[in-house]
Amino acid sequence: MTLSKSQYIRGLQCHKSLWLLKNRPELRTKADAQTESLFEAGYSVGDTAKALFPGGVEVVFDSGDFHGMTEKTKALIEEGAEVIYEATFKERAIFAMADILVKNGDAWDMYEVKASTKVKEYHRNDAAIQWYALSNAISLNRAYIVHIDNRYVRVGALDVNSLFKIVDVTETVKERQSAIVPNLEQIREMLQSDMPDIDIGGHCKDPHLCDFYKHCWQHIPSPSVFNLHRMSAKQKFGLYRQGIVGYPDISDDVILNGMQRVQVDTAKTGIPHIDKSVIQAFLETLVYPIHFFDFETFQNAIPRFDRQSPYEQIPFQYSLHILHEDGKLEHKEFLGDENSDPRDALIAQMLRDILPTGSIVAYNQSFEKKVIKKLAAFKPARKEALLALNERFVDLIVPFRKRGYYHPDFNGSFSLKSVLPALFPDDEELDYKKLDIQNGGMAMDTFANLHRLKDKSKREEIRSALLAYCRLDTLAMVKLLEKLGGLHGV
Ligand code: SF4
């Protein structure tokens, strides 16, 4: 039975996951393809890395003709190719594609390209199985992992030699060869048997979130011990293995911290927990005019703009509601041009829009403050003014985290997307599900790819959806503050 390299890696994570893939693929949770389908394919990290070894020949991927791909690879090797991209092999019943093969004397060096910013454990296993298969057909010299170096800062044309880091993993790969045959024997035996009896565990998310997660976790009620705030995974699985799963299973003997006990108690009574002294202390920190501020950011693995690093969070949008002492509420917003670096225009408008005095309220302020700090480094001329903003931040998550208000429907999460619907369950204006863009991840992916979209009217439609999403983030904060004020009787 032939296995692909990724199937072997899946089998190392969990035998059951590989068994289900081979026998019950319909139980997989499909990745959300919505954003991807809107845009033309981007220029991938793998494609960019080919420039490290220019002049190679590519074995073009053809899902209907793997045999043709292996034959093409053989022919290229025989013809004396020096560099081959996507060289394809079926050896020792393993189907493997090497990202880049480079001739080195009589042997070949093997390069595996990863979009991550460091070498991960499973990358080494990935290179090891690759080596196992390829070494049956060609003589191998060294194995390398090529990954993104996030210290790189683009200046002018892309410098691929600085963008990527090349790590020699040959010794580890060779050491791991002895484990591969027994691993493969176990996997093949397992695949010829009934579904393995493997319970849920830390392996369901490590190294990848398993796509059978929904299927395997369906017996876990909501809420469960897995929703307990700031409890370690080890403790959660410890309780689970003792049969303590749902909140009714949690007796007074189970040691919980204050927040976790509030979660369990409010879930039993259905009555929110309120501590007015915490709310009062928070409200006293606020100074009018109160600014409610939220950034959206995008990131690129391969920097598009000057002075951009790989995966750097680049702000492209903000929403700002300003609540004046007389009750007047005004709204301001910024959405950058998707075709150019939005940072200069954003900084200029942000420093105009935010008034010289008053609190700046964010939800989980560390993100906004970090982005502002980066902007200050990006624009030294406005550094002082930008950093002065960070002194005025107040974090609206604090009264929730400090148990000033806990609603059982928070389910142990204090994110805006959990808190808002629990406090305003029937308010359509505050319902993210009514929007085309419903979360920060979607906003990020959408904007990062928007410049690829040729259709201008579609682009405008998406820009409106982005504005509506970000506006709701700050309106939500206004409403939450009103609610806290009301709870406190002010
Ligand atoms: S969800 Fe967990 S137990 Fe189920 S197949 Fe995946 S890794 Fe295995």
- Please name the residues in contact with 27: beta carbons below 8 A apart, sequence gap of 6 or more: 20, 212, 215
Q: How confident is the model at residue 1 (pLDDT cuts 50, 70, 90)?
A: confident
Q: Is the CB of 216 within 6 Å of ligand 1?
A: yes
- pLDDT at residue 487 is higher than 90: no
Q: How confident is the model at residue 214 (pLDDT cuts 50, 70, 90)?
A: very high
The verdict on 170 and 293 lying in the same domain is no
Cβ atoms of 216 and 239 closer than 8 Å? no
Q: Which of 9, 204, 217 to mutate to test the pocket of ligand 1 (most atoms within 8 A of CB)?
A: 204
Q: Are strands 405-406 and 273-274 parallel, antiparallel or unpaired?
A: antiparallel
**Minimum CA distance residue for ligand 1 atom 1:** 213
Last residue of a domain, one of 166, 190, 214: 190
The verdict on 153 and 284 lying in the same domain is no
The verdict on 185 and 286 lying in the same domain is no
Q: What is the mean pLDDT of residues 208-217?
A: 96
Q: Is the CB of 424 within 6 Å of ligand 1?
A: no
What's residue 30's pLDDT? 78
The verdict on 165 and 313 lying in the same domain is no
Read off the CATH number of the domain in which 179 is found: 3.90.320
Q: What is the mean pLDDT of the chain?
A: 94
Read off the CATH number of the domain in which 356 is found: 3.30.420.10
In a domain, 245, yes or no: no
Q: Is the CB of 18 within 6 Å of ligand 1?
A: no
Q: How far is CA 9 from CA 68, 140, 147, 220, 400, in A?
A: 25, 21, 19, 27, 41
In a domain, 112, yes or no: yes
Q: Which of 26-40, 56-70, 157-171, 315-329 has the lowest mean pLDDT?
A: 26-40
What's residue 127's pLDDT? 97
Rounded Cα distance, 121 and 162, in Å = 23
Render pLDDT for 89-116 as a digit per residue (tens, 0 to 9): 999 999 999 999 999 999 999 999 999 9
Alpha carbon 39 to its chain centroid, in Å, reads: 19
Ligand 1 mean position, distance from CA 205 (Å): 8
What's residue 35's pLDDT? 40
Cβ atoms of 76 and 100 closer than 8 Å? no
Q: Which atom of ligand 1 is nearest to the CA of 19?
A: 5
Percentage of residues in the chain having pLDDT higher than 90: 92
Q: What is the mean pLDDT of residues 39-61?
A: 85
**Minimum CA distance residue for ligand 1 atom 7:** 204
Q: How confident is the model at residue 141 (pLDDT cuts 50, 70, 90)?
A: very high
Q: Is the CB of 132 within 6 Å of ligand 1?
A: no
pTM: 0.90
Determine if residue 156 is left, alpha or beta; phi over 0 gives left, psi from -120 to 50 gives alpha, anything else beta.
Answer: left
In a domain, 247, yes or no: no
Q: Is the CB of 200 within 6 Å of ligand 1?
A: yes
Q: How confident is the model at residue 407 (pLDDT cuts 50, 70, 90)?
A: very high
Last residue of a domain, one of 169, 190, 211: 190
In a domain, 73, yes or no: yes
Q: Is the CB of 362 within 6 Å of ligand 1?
A: no
The verdict on 45 and 157 lying in the same domain is yes
The verdict on 155 and 9 lying in the same domain is yes
First to last CA, the chain: 70
The verdict on 163 and 57 lying in the same domain is yes
Tokens of 119: 């070498």
Ligand 1 mean position, distance from CA 213 (Å): 6
Q: Which of 10, 200, 218, 237 to mutate to test the pocket of ligand 1 (most atoms within 8 A of CB)?
A: 200
Q: Is the CB of 74 within 6 Å of ligand 1?
A: no
Q: Is the CB of 237 within 6 Å of ligand 1?
A: no
What's residue 40's pLDDT? 41
**Minimum CA distance residue for ligand 1 atom 4:** 216
The verdict on 183 and 303 lying in the same domain is no
Tokens 């170096």 belong to 149
Q: Which of 10, 122, 210, 211 to mutate to test the pocket of ligand 1 (most atoms within 8 A of CB)?
A: 210
What's residue 307's pLDDT? 96
In a domain, 213, yes or no: no
What's residue 34's pLDDT? 43
Q: How confident is the model at residue 32 (pLDDT cuts 50, 70, 90)?
A: low
What's residue 488's pLDDT? 57
Render pLDDT for 60-79 as a digit per residue (tens, 0 to 9): 999 899 999 999 999 999 99
Render pLDDT for 164-194 as a digit per residue (tens, 0 to 9): 999 999 999 999 999 999 999 999 999 999 9
In a domain, 214, yes or no: no
Q: Identify whether 221 is preceded by a cis peptide bond (ω within 30 of 0).
A: no
- Please name the residues in contact with 277: beta carbons below 8 A apart, sequence gap of 6 or more: 404
E strand residue ranges, 64-106? 83-91, 94-104
Render pLDDT for 243-254 as a digit per residue (tens, 0 to 9): 999 999 999 999
**Domain assignment of residue 143, given as a range:** 3-190
Ligand 1 mean position, distance from CA 19 (Å): 10
Last residue of a domain, one of 171, 190, 209: 190
Q: Which of 21, 22, 198 to mutate to test the pocket of ligand 1 (most atoms within 8 A of CB)?
A: 198
Rounded Cα distance, 400 and 427, in Å = 20
Tokens 């009514």 belong to 434
What's residue 489's pLDDT? 54
In a domain, 376, yes or no: yes
Rounded Cα distance, 455 and 461, in Å = 10
Number of domains in the chain: 2
Ligand 1 mean position, distance from CA 141 (Å): 36
Q: Which atom of ligand 1 is nearest to the CA of 200?
A: 3
**Minimum CA distance residue for ligand 1 atom 5:** 17
Q: Is the CB of 351 within 6 Å of ligand 1?
A: no
What's residue 63's pLDDT? 87
Tokens 């080919």 belong to 50
The verdict on 182 and 285 lying in the same domain is no
Q: Identify whether 408 is preceded by a cis peptide bond (ω within 30 of 0).
A: no
In a domain, 428, yes or no: yes
